[in-house]
Chains A and B, each alone.
Chain A
Amino acid sequence: MKKTGAEIVFESLKLEGVDTVFGLPGGAVLTLYHAMGRYSEEIRHILVRHEQGAVHAADGYARSSGKVGVCIVTSGPGGTNTVTGLATAYMDSVPLVVFTGQVPTMLIGNDAFQEADITGITRPCTKHNYLVKDVQDLPMIIKQAFHLARTGRPGPVLIDLPKDVIAANTDFSYPSKLKMRSYNPTYHGHPGQIKRAAKLITGAKKPLIYAGGGVILSNASKELTTLAQKLSIPVTTTLMGLGCFPGTHPLFLGMLGMHGSFQANMAVTHCDVLIAIGARFDDRVTGKIESFSPHSKKIHIDIDPTSISKNVPVDIPIVGDARIILKTLMKCLEEEAGHDWDRKHADWNNQITGWKNNTAPQDASCGPCIKPQYVIEKIDEITRGDAIITTEVGQNQMWTAQAFKFTRPRTLLTSGGLGTMGYGFPAAIGAQVAFPDKTVIDIAGDGSIQMNIQELATAVQYNLPVKVAILNNHCLGMVRQWQQLFYEQKYIQSVFDVVPDFVKLAEAYGALGLRATKPEEVEPVIRQALATPKPVFMDFLIDQNECVYPMVPAGAALTEMLLV
């Protein structure tokens, strides 16, 4: 049957199981939007207010649901506005397919109106991208794009659609099979390597699991938890790994790294076997590389071979899918019958308990000022942890990682790799679209929220009851913290002389605005917000001097923690 390129896009989306797209129209994609009208029953379009919001929303949709997030934007500035969102998704391995409009093929390269070489611009921040030159190639390209986005190490894929290509006609048939001779991700780990790993773990006296976002991406939380529990191995996670192991479990040590817990950083330094799963030894995790886990043999399970031995040399690399490998590994370990793991690791777990008890718990009690940790703990308590939490980037992100006890995967959505301020609010909108009945809360700072605040109109338009908790300290808190600790307390350009009245601002958009200036107002504000079936901004005025601790200064060893 003859179809136009525009119709092929939507027919293909339907066949890929897509029912929601995020976007903003413009000249080059008007043909696409015109065709969209005929598919409105099957594919819901969420109209954002800025293309960056579209990509982050699709990203939040994808991270929370595990599905591929889809965006449609126009050429030129529409495309360039997606770049930050693409880079965010690329660093955190989020499956996205982004369609950009392009000027007609005849005009490409002529500096036409709203022309940008978007495939050139996004080459380093997408898993792959395509410029479609012939409408006949379109179905295969879309098929490949979805395949690339969701398989192997997931990531964003961009498809650039010239105006004449989406207007052209061709016979449409969607390919049922896909063959890509140059792309074959490995899923099953090498059996010999897995056996070696099992042997190493069996011989370990002080084993430690260091789990990252890859565990969540491969849906391996159950397998990880089984392994840790059966063998009584303590677990620390990266920021991206929070939620892959229950945060309330006695074997859980909290996050490691720059703002990691004392016990996690001590454990990683003193362990004798480190089992890294779906984590990539990021500089925020390792600190000074020469002092990172100096006494351990390292096992590294990761689907991306480039992550292995990139920063830290590894003794037993295993390339493949975390879930499949953990299952095989568990089988190998079960064959090693006759171990009383609890007793074997008792000394080690006692040593860790000693570290846990040795640290003063983060003081969330409030003086005259509201403590940010108190706000986050109250949110955790009142929602009973049953919420999807997104964060912005900076202090708000680290306080959330430390204070909220994430117990389930895909409940923390945060820009870990790129560290994108302005991510959390549109991501929360995307997560709320995926889960209309769940509580979705963006924990933000007054700096970050202003970076994509226009999306409040989107939330109001679609009646998405996203809650935003603004930890308002009238400054770029993390920048100020670094200036306080490392730049002679000279607060250059980090303190805002003007901050909008977020209550009035929320009202101007048709949302609800609430404010807490005293500790006793925190709980009533949260309760009222959660009881309100529409978007709510909660403005919590917190102490500007409050810092995130513990902190390992950049480039220092993990044991060199500033504790207060």
Chain B
Amino acid sequence: MRHVISILVENEPGVLSRVSALFSGRGFNIESLNVAETLDPTISRMTLITTGNEQIIEQIIKQLNKLVNVIKVMDLTGSDFVDREMILVRVRAEATSRAEVLRILEIFRGRVVDVSPKSYTLEITGDEKKIQAVVELLTPFGILEIVRTGKVAIIRAKKDSSHAGKLQEPKSES
């Protein structure tokens, strides 16, 4: 089963290599990986998509926690979360198809970020299904190049008022 794992790590050189080496060294699989700084510049967040049975996912989470630079590991799968991916896609758009490409883009609420006489470069954001749908619809026109960010994900906020507005802090000393 696919799991979305969110990892808070020390923002230091070598951390990404430790995480990726753990996966390759132990024969785990990374489908996508996304890393960026958090509000606290000393901490980075990795969003990682992986697959495996329950036992493998348990090992992955334990092994990640064992890395000295890893502050917190959360398996978002099973909890209520929102995920998004962005793609930049260069699609062939010549006289006859230019209008049609734009129409599809509008339906998916994308944007044109670059134009040439024979192509458009489009920016589209969405969850997995939406991205898959738009790629399928654009394929007949001729996709020249596609760049994907990989998924980012966040847990949905609690909807009762008592938790509203509370900042989520990284793991403190325990």
Query: For residue B170, which residue of chain A has the nearest CB?
Result: A181
CA–CA, A309 and B57, complex, Å: 12
How many residue pairs at the A-B interface have CB separations less than 8 Å? 41
Q: Which of B60-68, B127-135, B144-152 contacts A (4 or more CB under 8 A)?
A: B60-68
Cβ-based interface call for A148 (8 A): yes
A357 within 8 A of B: no
Chain A 99-123 per-residue mask, 1 if CB under 8 angstroms from chain B, else 0: 0000000000000000000011001
From residue 25 to 82 of chain B, which have CB atoms closer than 8 A to chain A?
25, 55, 58-59, 62-63, 65-66, 68-71
Q: Which residues of B contact A124 (CB under 8 A)?
A: 21, 25
| With A124-B21, A182-B70, A182-B71: A306-B10 Cβ-Cβ less than 8 Å | no
Question: Is the CB–CB distance between B14 and A179 below 8 Å?
Answer: no
Which residue from chain A places its CB closest to the CB of B72 in the assembled complex?
A182
Interfacial chain B residues near A148, Cβ < 8 Å: 68
Contact A306 B62 (CB under 8 A): yes
Within 8 A of B (CB), among A104-147: 119-120, 123-124, 127-128, 131
Asked whether B174 lies within 8 Å of A184 as measured between CB atoms, the reply is yes
A120 contact set on B, CB distance < 8 A:
17
Shortest distance from the beta carbon of B55 to any chain A beta carbon, whole Å: 7
Chain B's closest residue to A126 (CB) is B68
Instruction: Answer yes or no: A310 CB below 8 A from chain B CBs.
Output: yes
Determine if A306 and B63 form an interchain contact, defined as CB atoms under 8 angstroms apart: yes
Q: Which residues of B contact A179 (CB under 8 A)?
A: 173
A424 to B: closest C-beta gap in Å = 27
| Cβ-based interface call for B171 (8 A) | yes
The distance from the CB of B61 to the nearest CB of chain A, in whole angstroms, is: 9
Q: Which of A120, A124, A184 has the most CB of B within 10 A?
A: A124
CA–CA, A119 and B172, complex, Å: 28
Is there a chain A Cβ closer than 8 Å to B109's Cβ?
Answer: no
- What's the nearest-Cβ distance from chain B to residue A160, in Å? 11
In the complex, what's the smallest C-beta–C-beta distance from B58 to chain A, in angstroms?
Answer: 7
Q: Say whether A304 faces chain B, with CB atoms less than 8 Å apart.
A: yes
What A residues does B21 contact at CB under 8 A?
123-124
Measured between C-beta atoms, what is the minimum distance from B128 to chain A in Å? Answer: 30
Cβ of A310 and Cβ of B68 under 8 Å apart? Answer: no
Which chain A residue shows the least CB distance to B66? A306
Query: What is the bound-complex CA distance between A552 and B67, given in angstroms?
Result: 35
Residue pair A305, B68 in contact (C-beta under 8 Å): no
**Contact indicator B71/A181 (Cβ below 8 Å):** yes
Measured between C-beta atoms, what is the minimum distance from B173 to chain A in Å? Answer: 6
Closest residue of A by beta carbon distance from B71: A182
Query: Contact at A183–B173, with CB atoms within 8 Å?
Result: no
B171: A residues at CB distance < 8 A: 181
A119 in contact with B68 given A181-B172, A184-B173 (CB within 8 Å): no
Q: Which of A128, A184, A309 contacts B55 (CB 8 A)?
A: A309
Q: CA A131 – CA B14 in complex, angstroms? A: 10
B118 in the interface, Cβ–Cβ < 8 Å? no
Docked-complex contact B173 and A305, CB < 8 angstroms: no
Q: Which residues of A contact B66 (CB under 8 A)?
A: 304-306
Interface string of B152-174 (1 = CB under 8 A from A): 00000000000000000011111
Shortest distance from the beta carbon of A79 to any chain B beta carbon, whole Å: 16
Nearest CB of A to B5, in Å: 15
Alpha-carbon separation in the docked complex, A123 to B63 (Å): 14
Find chain A residues with CB under 8 A from B13 CB.
131
Q: A127 with B63: in contact, given A309-B55, A309-B58 (CB under 8 Å)?
A: no
Considering the complex, give the chain A residue whose CB is closest to the CB of B65. Answer: A305
Determine if B18 is an interface residue (Cβ-Cβ < 8 Å): yes
Q: Name the A residues within 8 Å of B170 (CB-CB).
A: 181
| Given A120-B17, A124-B21, A309-B55, residue A182 in contact with residue B69 (CB < 8 A) | yes
A182 touches B173 (CB 8 A): no
Given contacts A123-B17, A181-B171, contact A310 B59 (CB under 8 A): yes
Chain B residues contacting A119 (CB-CB under 8 Å) are: 14
Q: How far is the CB of B92 from chain A (nearest CB, A)?
A: 41
How far is A124 from B171 in the complex, measured between Cα atoms in Å? 25
Give, as a whole number of angstroms, the nearest-CB distance from B142 to chain A. Answer: 41
Contact call B59/A306, Cβ cutoff below 8 A: yes
Docked CA distance A148–B69 (Å): 12
CA distance A127 to B66 in the complex (A): 9
- The answer to whether A127 and B17 touch across the interface, beta carbons within 8 angstroms, is no
Give the complex CA separation of A383 and B174 in angstroms.
Answer: 49
Interface 1/0 per residue, A166-205 and B, CB below 8 Å: 0000000000000111111000000000000000000000
A120 to B13, CA, bound (A): 11
How many angstroms between the C-alpha atoms of A181 and B12 in the bound complex?
A: 14
Which chain A residues lie closer than 8 Å to B25 at the CB level?
124
Taking CB atoms, residues of chain A closer than 8 Å to B62 are 305-306
B58 cross-chain contacts in A, Cβ below 8 A: 309
CA distance A332 to B17 in the complex (A): 45
Q: Quick check: A182 and B10 within 8 Å, CB to CB? A: yes
Min CB–CB distance A43 → chain B (angstroms): 27
Kindly name the residue among B9, B14, B17, B65 whose own CB sees the greatest number of chain A CB atoms within 10 A: B14
Q: Is the CB of B68 within 8 A of A127?
A: yes
The docked-state distance in angstroms from the alpha carbon of A192 to that of B138 is 57
In Å, the complex CA distance between A131 and B17 comes to 14
How far apart are the CA atoms of A306 and B68 in the complex, in Å?
A: 14
Chain A residues closer than 8 Å to B9, beta-carbon distance? 182
Nearest opposing residue in chain B for A180, CB measure: B68
Contacts of B69 in A (CB 8 A): 128, 182
How far in angstroms is the closest Cβ of chain A from B121?
Answer: 34
A476-499: CB near B (< 8 Å → 1, else 0) gives 000000000000000000000000
- Jot down 24 A-B pairs with beta carbons below 8 A, ordered by A: A123-B17, A123-B18, A123-B21, A124-B21, A124-B25, A127-B68, A128-B69, A131-B14, A179-B173, A181-B170, A181-B172, A181-B173, A182-B9, A182-B10, A182-B68, A182-B69, A183-B68, A184-B173, A304-B66, A305-B62, A305-B65, A305-B66, A306-B62, A306-B63
Chain A residues within 8 Å of B, Cβ to Cβ: 119-120, 123-124, 127-128, 131, 148, 179-184, 304-306, 309-310
Besides the known contacts A123-B18, A124-B25, A182-B69, 14 further A-B residue pairs in the complex with CB atoms under 8 A apart: A123-B14, A123-B17, A124-B21, A179-B173, A181-B171, A181-B172, A182-B9, A183-B68, A184-B173, A184-B174, A304-B66, A306-B62, A309-B58, A310-B59
Listed from nearest, the 9 A-B pairs whose CB atoms lie closest are A128-B68, A306-B62, A182-B71, A305-B62, A124-B25, A183-B68, A306-B63, A306-B66, A123-B21
Residues on B lying within 8 angstroms of A by beta carbon are 9-10, 13-14, 17-18, 21, 25, 55, 58-59, 62-63, 65-66, 68-71, 170-174
